[in-house]
Amino acid sequence: MQSDQVPPVRLARLDELEEAGAIIAASFESFRASLPPHIFEPYVADASNLAAVWDDAAVAVMEHAGRIVGTVTYYEDAQREGMGWPSGYAGLRTLAVAPEAQGHGYGRKLCQWCIDRAREQPAEALALHTAEFMKSACKLYESLGFQRRPRRDLVASGVLGFDPAHGDQRIIAYELPIDR
């Protein structure tokens, strides 16, 4: 996909949630080999169910040539995300860019949209969770100034509700302090 200019980010419409969810599922497919099925399948199902977070978060999309190519979910109050963040923090969740649209700066633009919203709010910090095997995402977050917060790391069994005896996955935490 060619792109001379990064498209703008905008709030999604309710009728676009299924398409945005499909982008999430497609973009996460490359991680299938990194996770056992008992983690991968529920993780993707949870992440791509944007209708479930519609009342608690802002779902944003990026459109190119008439179709959605990226999405991110922004929580004005990260505490509503249910991932252990304190009140006063904003949350970034489920950043995804369609596989054919990756490498054009779309993920950075979607992250920046969340950073800008957190500054306008103003939030104390913008927080997120990811996984170490998502190396490109970790590199992107760190390049934007996010800092690791190991004390806020989680495990997949606690988030997705499965028996950790079957194997678990660490979910690593990042925060971006917001200048006021």
Q: pLDDT band at 6, cuts 50/70/90? A: confident
What's the mean per-residue pLDDT of the chain? Answer: 94
What tokens does 126 get?
Answer: 């913008």
Q: What is the pLDDT of residue 4?
A: 56
Residue 59 has pLDDT above 90, yes or no: yes
Q: What is the pLDDT of residue 128?
A: 98
Between 3.40.50.300, 3.40.630.30, 2.130.10.10, 3.30.1440.10, what CATH number should domain 9-177 receive? 3.40.630.30
Residue 175: strand pairing partners: 127, 147
Name which of 8, 46, 10 is nearest 171 in CA terms. 46
pLDDT digits (tens, 9 = 90+) for 102-140: 999 999 999 999 999 999 999 999 999 999 999 999 999
Predicted TM-score of the model (pTM): 0.93
pLDDT digits (tens, 9 = 90+) for 36-48: 999 999 999 999 9
For strands 147-148 and 89-97, give the pairing. unpaired
